């Protein structure tokens, strides 16, 4: 079992705080350039966080796959999980956990994480996805969030993601 931790705060927090710092520098300027830059910084922070969440969820699924003895089994699971793109809780995260840990493992991870935390995670991920889709797939003049708000959402879900990781590691140690 790998001892590398998956959800490391320093990886993403430094980027988000830097983007927010640059955003705050120009916030009170009222020029066309500053307006464009504010929008760009908001998009950057949002896409950066969403990409990080998606990448880390892929690593989480690999906790059980890396211990499979049969190469054929490992390849089969990797082929199925490679088709999962996104970070929506119901469509992506839960499916990835079920495919890699099994239904029993998924229930164990959810029960250790807690229903309230799962609801918060589901809600925040849905909000981030909505914002990301708007920011990435349109040239809208208004971005619904700024870097400081994205940091707040990150601060809500980070401890929950760590609980999920801890539960997944515990399950992996027992069953794989």
Measured between alpha carbons, how far is 119 from 89 in angstroms, rounded to an integer?
A: 9
Within a domain: 90? yes
Within a domain: 76? yes
Within a domain: 129? yes
Within a domain: 40? yes
Q: For residue 119, how many other CB atoms are within 10 A of its CB?
A: 12
Torsion of CA 84, 59, 162, 126, to 10 degrees: -20
Question: Sorting pLDDT into bands at 50, 70 and 90, what band is 55?
Answer: confident
Within a domain: 145? yes
| Cα 130 to Cα 96, 104, 136, 143, distances in angstroms | 21, 31, 10, 11
The answer to pTM > 0.85 is: yes
Q: How many domains does the chain have?
A: 1
What burial letters (b/e) apply to 133-164, b meaning 16+ CB within 10 Å? ebbeeeeeeebebbbbbbbebbeebbebbbbb
Within a domain: 4? no
- Mean pLDDT score of the chain, rounded to an integer? 87
Measured between alpha carbons, how far is 110 from 114 in angstroms, rounded to an integer?
A: 6
The pLDDT value recorded for residue 73 is 74
Provide the residue range defining the domain that includes 166. 9-175
Within a domain: 151? yes
Within a domain: 3? no
**pLDDT reading at 67 higher than 80:** no
Tens of pLDDT, residue by residue over 122-140, are: 999 999 999 988 887 777 6
Note whether 95 and 142 are within 8 A (CB). no
Measured between alpha carbons, how far is 10 from 123 in angstroms, rounded to an integer?
A: 24
């Amino acid at each position: 079992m790998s001892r590398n931790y998956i959800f490391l705060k320093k990886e993403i927090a430094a980027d988000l705080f830097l983007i927010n710092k640059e955003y705050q520098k120009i916030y009170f300027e009222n020029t066309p350039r500053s307006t464009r830059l504010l929008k760009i910084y908001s998009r950057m922070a949002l896409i950066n966080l969403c990409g990080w969440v998606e990448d880390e969820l892929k690593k989480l699924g690999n906790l059980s796959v890396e211990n499979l003895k049969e190469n054929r089994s490992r390849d089969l699971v990797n082929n199925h999980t490679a088709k999962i793109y996104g970070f929506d809780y119901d469509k992506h995260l839960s499916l990835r956990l079920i495919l890699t840990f099994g239904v029993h493992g998924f229930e164990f991870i959810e029960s250790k994480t807690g229903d309230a935390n799962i609801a918060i995670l589901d809600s925040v991920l849905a909000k981030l996805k909505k914002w990301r889709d708007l920011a990435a797939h349109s040239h809208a003049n208004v971005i619904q969030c700024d870097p400081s708000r994205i940091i707040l959402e990150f601060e809500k879900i980070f401890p929950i993601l760590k609980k999920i990781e801890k539960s997944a590691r515990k399950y992996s140690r027992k069953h794989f």
